[in-house]
Structure 1
Amino acid sequence: MNVAPRTDLSSAKDDLSVEEAILRLVRTLCRRRILWLDKLAQQAVSEPDLGNAHARALADMDAPGREAEFLDAHAEASALWQEAGTLHAHIFEGENRLRHLADVFGLSIEERQLVLLCLSTAIDPSMHLVFQSISGVSGGPVSEDMAARLFGHGRNAMWGPGSPLSRWHIIEETGGVLRLDPYVQSYLRGASDVDPDVAMLCRVINETPEPLPNWPVEELTERLIGALQRGMPTRVTVLGQPLSGRTTLASLISARLGRSVSVIDTGRIKGQIWDLIRMRVQRQALLHNSTIAWAGENALKGIEPLPDSIDVEFVIIETQEDAMPAIGWHEERVKIPSLTSVERKTLWQRYLPGAQVWPDGALDQLADRFRVTIGEIRHVAAQGDDSFEGVRQRTRALSHGKLGDLARLVECPFDRTDLHLPDGVSDQLDEFLYEAKTRNAFWEDPGARRLFPRGVGLIGLMSGPPGTGKTMAAQVIANELGLDLFRIDVATMIDKYIGETAKRLKRLFARASEINAVLLFDEADALFARRTDTKDSLDKHSNADTSYLLQLVEDYPGVALLATNKRQQIDDAFVRRIRYVFYLPRPERAERLAIWQQVVSVLASPQQAADLRPDLERLASDLPMTGAQIKNAALAAVFLPSGTERR
């Protein structure tokens, strides 16, 4: 027999709290059960054959049918049953966390009653004494058998392996003893909003900052609402670099849906626990009416292959190639656009009021030169130093480490006066620097971008014998622009395994395109050399890698420099696509003399350089050395021991 509690609300008190109602309900059912157990005890006394528990069990004295007949005919038991029904309705018809949990996870009436019974011991631990008295088990644990008898379900099962209670770990069962999951228990009691098991990797965002003008917040929200009204769960893939506002966009859309967003750092999830973590994250989101944003290096592992209980989730990744089709979902993909120099200037003014007193043009230079994100601007502004130089240095330092082992940061101690070049090359370098300093604002003009949809990067090919200053020229360019210089050894990028070179190049440019730096591809001959023959499949793939690198370099939005020792080995088809081709020859006599004087002045003193002028002129005339050779020779002379020391 299965008798569910009645739902008559006539005797419920409006001011009765949910926890008070739960305790009163469970105590009422226990008192009703005790009436029957007292009847059995009296019968055992009057019938000697039933004097022990074994005899009573064999006689099935505690049969559900017998209990129901007795209680239905018992006036007090009937009144208790009616009161229990009223309390049950009071609990599950009001707005409270227990009702929300039951509705969200679709709990049956039996499953709700199991949760209710387990919760009663959390509210009042003394309930274990009551349960001990009606079960005869020391400690009074909650069991399915006891719950079934209290709520009138006889010997019927109240849940199983497929139950939401099992799937969502709402109730844990150990040796027949039932307990609420600790987080679920704290949630039901209003004490915790974040599951401790996911707290270290979860960040709940409720803020709704003002979106940037070019963010499609309203359009996306409208499409999401339409999909949800059609019963279609939605997955939004948000593309963009870190700190570009990806999670902010997710929070803005979530807020317009009336929800918070739980951002999960998947990089913190270790080991084979993905299914458990995913369940706990989803459980928390469902309980708190939140969306989920999977972020971090393993973001794609967080998403479910098919929609189930979550109706809106975000996937936050960096590149389009990382995205996966969302079969079974309404799918949206949005790329956070890079900030324009005008937008960067506005944001600097918003977050850094001290910029108002900077020298004329300083703020424009900062906004134009550094392609930072809104998060990076906020980070720099929060450091408390609003001086132009302090802000510039911190903004520049944001690029450090972003390329990992793909490139090496090169110090740039040289300025324009350190380069001694032929007049033609020197003029060409000045033209290159002028374009590098003014190009960002130019390419943000829609008309210019329409005419030149590709090839907006600034590329310089520098060739010449070793030691003629190719690397120094790159250092001067970076220093003049106030940017960092990253050196990429092309030879180390080439992998003997087919396809690996392209993967490395793709990863390099995906990261480099969003940083503030000059890229120097050293030993560029390795990939850009002429290829007259294709003898085998490796040659074909090498040609493909060259074409791919050429495409990436042309699409790179920053400044890229290619250095080679032998210009004639570079493919002519590639050279024709580069506007700045620098040939750095061995220095002539006048240039060698200028280098000798500068090096000696620094390593010794200007006076000694003047005193040694005749000797330096003779060296410049007699020895056709490169700049690097002159520097090394001067350095060796500094450490040359005196005559006494040689003896």
Structure 2
Amino acid sequence: MTGAGRRRAQVHDASGALDLSWEEANRLALVAELDVLRVRITAYPGEAHESVAAADRRLIAARSLLDRPSALDELAAALRLTGFERTLLLLAVGQELAGEVADELTAAHGQPRPTFGFALAALPGAHWSAITPDGPLRRWELIRLLDSASLTGSPLAADERLLHHLMGVRYLEPDLAAIARPVQPMHALPPSFATAAETIRLVWERGRPVVLQGPQPANLPVVAAAAAKAAGRDLRVISVADLPSAVRDRDRLLRLVGRESILAPAAWAFDADGAQPAETHALVRALGTLSAPVAVLGPFDTAVADGVHVAVPRLPIPERVAALKAALDRHAAARPDDEAATVAGVFDLALPDVELAAGDTASGTPLWHACRARSRSRYGTQARVVRPRAGWDDLVLPATHLEKLRSLVAAVRHRTRVLHDWGFAGKSSRGLGTAALFAGHSGTGKTLAAEVIAHELGLDLVVVDLSQVVSKFIGETEKNLGRVFDAAEDGAAVLLFDEADTLFGKRTEVRDSHDRYANLEVGYLLQRMESFTGLAILTTNARSVLDQAFLRRLRIVVTFPYPDRTARETMWRRAFPDGMPVDGVAPARLAAVDLPGGGIAAAALTAAYLGAGEDRVTAEQLAVATRWELAKNGRSLGGRGPS
């Protein structure tokens, strides 16, 4: 029995079987359809009618075994192939799947592979457009011309990926598998994210690309994966940085993305983090030609004209609390009942980090520390992160000032209760953060107080480097500050602007374009400070130069007094660590010298270095250190100085 005869027998014998898988039934249906095509091409005129009728009956029997359309049926419907295009595709596939088909083609027209010229002559409904580069067969690289010199005489070959697909074998195109990463959908999304995911699904149904934007990049793939799941697809993410730089190669890769969206239930997201706006715009425009479920993931300020924009906002506090509690329950992490609400009110973690923090908590890490570790952001050169160590005992301030500082700690710790439970967040979306101004002479403890607050809260202190933030180029200062504010909100850090009058100075009368842009810069800062939901502390030596509109937006203003003699004596006593050997030093006499707290700390450290070689610190060494500290400001110490 010939190979064709064996296939016909298999189809006939299987017609009564009921326990075939779809994959097995799909292969039988493809074999039967190939048999019909073979008979139509090779049968002699006298026996054509009978042979075709018998082949058609076998095809009907094979199709009856399928509980859903065959792979070829699904592909033809998705690409809207004409009858001729479908048959031409089947003809190219046939000689790869069955060697006897190649033998019969050789006998029919002299070569083992079909040509377009042969198809035009032998197949019904033939049309020239089936072989054009823009037609579906060549656009999606389903078939290839082996000899580009002749359209009609070139042998046709089916793509390997197509062959496996038609046989029911699922895998990802290797060129895409090398750069794409799968993203699994998470558990039930918070309502804000679920709404965004449903919007994406509806946009995909209309065949439009999505531009997905939000202030927390890690949440964007999560929402896109939920949309893909709702559409019955798996999400794969490709970094724009991994796309080929050559235009031709990039276009081909994007066409492969479109083809994979048809061959396999996949949706695609392109991570545009770090890409230039022009590059992102060109990508969205190119994806719009695919009519595939695709999304571009970009930062919140990316402006792209094409595509449908969908925003993924920061979660409100109630949804953050619910997400954290649900993650802790999934990981069976024990914690006090009200701790999750307190922690979620402070740390605005992306959902993947929430899961990781819950896992850390289940392994024994305290919830606060787990969230703090997962929330640390990268600030680049625009800020430096300080691990605070100073405590309340290091501050020498009047009781009323300490009370104001402690109120800042309370404002951070009790955000959930005040804003959510008591409803203040429902009254207004502005000014929900805490901004404080520490004013006073240099060395009076402003920066130290910020460190004490951060240490008390168990948060990092992020000191903004104004030399790296302020730019002479228009708009760059605002962008730099925006990145710092966003990172601080993600990381729940205490944000410190030293010498804030540099940024928050008074707006001036507009005399030229420089004044106009300077005023716009101050205006942006006012808005960004008001929308910042964390704790921002600004210090200044010149409160009078600050813009009044900015001062109105401050929650608390603390004016640090210049220390009197009693305060200076206390500072001197606390300036010497317990392990420092001090010989004959009288803090009461040292306090007679007019130094602020910063000067006292600096003098004590200098004296320690002077006395380290002798393994003790003497009054004379402290006098030298004090004299040097005074000299920094052009002052002198009369007589022998304190002892």
Q: TM-score, normalised by structure 1?
A: 0.77
Is the CA contact (8 Å cut-off) linking 2:35 and 2:55 kept in structure 1?
no
Verify: 1:186 aligned to 2:164, yes or no.
yes
Match in the other structure for 1:427: 403
Amino acid across the alignment from 1:617: A
Between the aligned partners of 2:200 and 2:42, the Cα distance in structure 1 is 58
Q: Go from structure 1 to structure 2 and tell me whether the alpha carbon gap of 1:206 and 1:456 turns closer, same or farther (over 3 Å shift).
A: closer
The SS at the match of 2:355 is: helix
Q: Alignment partner for residue 379 of structure 2, among 403, 409, 416?
A: 403
1:627 and 2:597 are equivalent in the alignment: yes
Q: Distance in 1 between matches of 2:196 and 2:464?
A: 42
2:14: which partner in 1? 15
What is the Cα deviation at residue 543 of structure 1?
1.4
Alignment partners' CA distance in 2, 1:566 and 1:288: 65
CA distance in 2, matches of 1:118, 1:525: 74
Deviation per CA, 1:206-254: give whole Å up to 9, x if none.
Answer: 75732335555499479939x95xxx44555544344775444444444
**Of 165, 168, 173, which residue of structure 1 is paired with 2:140?**
168
Distance 1:322 1:342, change over 3 A: same
The residue type paired with residue 619 of structure 1 is L
Choose the corresponding residue for 1:636, options 596, 606, 623.
Answer: 606
- What's 1:369 paired with? 346
User: Which whole-Å CA distance do the structure 2 matches of 1:212 and 1:155 have between them?
Assistant: 53
For residues 562-614 of structure 1, the C-alpha deviation after alignment (integer angstroms, 9 at most, x for no partner) is 12232233233422332312223443333333333333225x43xx35x5442
Aligned residue number for residue 579 of structure 1 = 555
Aligned residue for 2:187?
209
Report the equivalent of 1:114. Answer: 88
Match for 2:588 among 617, 632, 639?
617
Given that 1:524 and 1:563 are in contact with CA atoms closer than 8 Å, whether structure 2 keeps it comes out as: yes
Superposed, 1:234-273 pairs within 5 Å as 238-242=212-216, 245-272=219-246, 273=249
Distance 1:446 1:332 in 2: 31
Aligned CA distance change for structure 1 residues 434 and 382 (closer, same or farther; 3 Å): closer
Contact 2:328 2:359 in 1 (8 A): no
8 Å Cα contact 1:169/1:181 also seen in 2: yes
CA distance 1:174–1:342, shift in 2 (3 Å):
same
Q: Give the corresponding residue for 1:5.
A: none
Paired with 1:410 and 1:32, the residues of 2 have a C-alpha distance of 80
CA–CA separation in structure 2 for the residues paired with 1:25 and 1:354: 58
Q: Is the 8 A contact 2:115 2:156 kept in 1?
A: yes
Counterparts of 2:487 and 2:539, CA distance in 1:
21
Deviation at 1:458, TM superposition (A): 0.5
In structure 1, the residue corresponding to 2:496 is in which secondary structure?
strand
Change (3 A) 1:90 1:121: farther
8 A contact 2:462–2:494 mirrored in 1: yes
Give the one of 449, 453, 474 matched to 2:450. Answer: 474
SS at 2:490's partner residue? Answer: coil
Counterparts of 1:311 and 1:368, CA distance in 2? 39
Is the Cα–Cα contact under 8 Å of residues 370 and 396 in structure 1 kept in the other structure?
yes
User: Deviation of residue 473 (structure 1)?
Assistant: 1.7
- Once residues 165 and 298 of structure 2 are traced to their aligned partners in structure 1, the CA distance between those partners, rounded to angstroms, is 31
Q: Distance in 2 between matches of 1:466 and 1:223?
A: 57
- DSSP 3-state at the match of 1:578: coil
Residue in structure 1 matched with residue 638 of structure 2 by the alignment: none
Aligned Cα root-mean-square deviation (Å): 4.0
Cα shift readout 1:275-318 (whole Å, capped 9, x = no counterpart): 33332222212233444444442576543478555365545444
Counterpart amino acid of residue 356 in structure 2: H
Give the 3-state SS of the residue equivalent to 1:322 in structure 2: coil
* Cα pair distance change 1:424/1:117, threshold 3 Å: same
Task: Give the corresponding residue for 1:594.
Answer: 570
Give secondary structure in 2 for the equivalent of 1:421: coil
- Structure 1: segments with no counterpart, 5+ residues: 1-8, 36-70
TM-aligned CA distance change 1:15 to 1:217, over 3 Å: farther
Code of the aligned partner of 1:500: E
Please, which of 131, 145, 153 is the counterpart of residue 159 of structure 1? 131
| SS of residue paired to 2:483 | helix
Question: 2:330 aligns to what?
Answer: 351
Which residue is equivalent to 2:71? 97
SS in 1 for 2:376: coil
State how far apart, in whole Å, the 1-side matches of 2:423 and 2:217 are: 29
Q: Displacement of 1:92 after TM fit?
A: 8.5
Q: Superposition pairs for residues 261-410 of structure 1, below 5 Å? A: 261-272=235-246, 273-297=249-273, 302-304=283-285, 310=291, 313-319=294-300, 321-322=301-302, 324=304, 335=313, 337-340=315-318, 342-356=321-335, 362-383=339-360, 385-389=362-366, 391-410=367-386
1:494 CA drift (Å): 2.0
Q: Structure 1 residues 404, 428: CA separation in 2 closer, same or farther (over 3 Å shift)?
A: same
Q: For 1:343 and 1:154, how far apart are their aligned partners in 2?
A: 61
Contact kept? 2:324, 2:358, Cα under 8 Å: no
Conservation of the 8 A alpha-carbon contact between 2:240 and 2:270:
yes
For structure 2, list consecutive stretches of 5 or more residues without a partner in the other structure: 1-7, 16-24, 148-153, 616-643
Paired AA for residue 355 in structure 1: A
CA distance in 2 between partners of 1:85 and 1:486 (Å) = 76
For 1:365 and 1:384, locate their aligned partners in 2 and report how far apart those are by CA, in whole Å.
15
Distance (Å, rounded) in 2 between the aligned partners of 1:529 and 1:130: 87
Q: Is the 8 A contact 2:438 2:538 kept in 1?
A: yes
Other-structure match for 1:58:
none
Corresponding residue to 1:451 among 418, 427, 430: 427
Pairwise CA distance, 1:539? 1.9
- C-alpha distance in structure 1 between counterparts of 2:437 and 2:267, whole Å: 49
Distance of 1:157 and 1:572 partners within structure 2: 71
1:542-563 Cα offsets, whole Å, 9 max, x none, are: 1110111111011100001112
CA shift in 2, pair 1:91/1:12, >3 Å: closer
| Number of aligned positions between the proteins | 582
Give the 5 Å matches for 1:44-83.
71-72=44-45, 75-82=46-53
Question: What's the CA shift string for 1:446-490, capped at 9, x where partnerless?
Answer: 741343431112111122333333222221111111111211123
Alpha-carbon separation, structure 2, partners of 1:474 and 1:76:
96
Structure 1 pair 125–377 and aligned structure 2 pair: CA distance change class (3 A): farther
Q: Supply the AA of the counterpart residue of 1:192.
A: R
**In the alignment, is the contact (CA less than 8 A) between 2:236 and 2:266 conserved in 1?**
yes
Q: TM-score, normalised by structure 2?
A: 0.78
Match of 2:524 in 1: 548
Tell me, in whole angstroms, the C-alpha distance in 2 between the residues paired with 1:80 and 1:105: 30
**2: distance between equivalents of 1:104 and 1:482?**
56
Distance 2:195 2:72 in 1: 34
For residues 27 and 154 of structure 1, the distance between their equivalents in structure 2, rounded to whole angstroms, comes to 20
Name the counterpart of 1:43.
Answer: none
Note closer, same or farther for the CA distance 1:438–1:311 as it changes in structure 2 (3 Å cut): same
Question: Take 2:327 and 2:128, find their aligned partners in 1: how far apart are those partners?
Answer: 67
Q: 1:3 — aligned with what?
A: none
The separation in 2 between residues aligned to 1:336 and 1:323, in whole angstroms, is 19
Q: Check the 8 A contact 2:270/2:297 in 1, yes or no.
A: yes
1:379–1:106 distance in 2 versus 1, CA, 3 Å:
same
Q: Percent identity?
A: 27
Verify: 1:528 aligned to 2:504, yes or no: yes
Q: CA 1:186–1:309 in 2, change beyond 3 Å: closer, same or farther?
A: same
The CA deviation at 1:12 is 7.2
The separation in 2 between residues aligned to 1:155 and 1:381, in whole angstroms, is: 62
Determine the structure 2 residue equivalent to 1:56: none
Q: 1:269 to 1:385 in 2, by over 3 A?
A: farther
- Most deviating of 592-601 and 304-313: 304-313
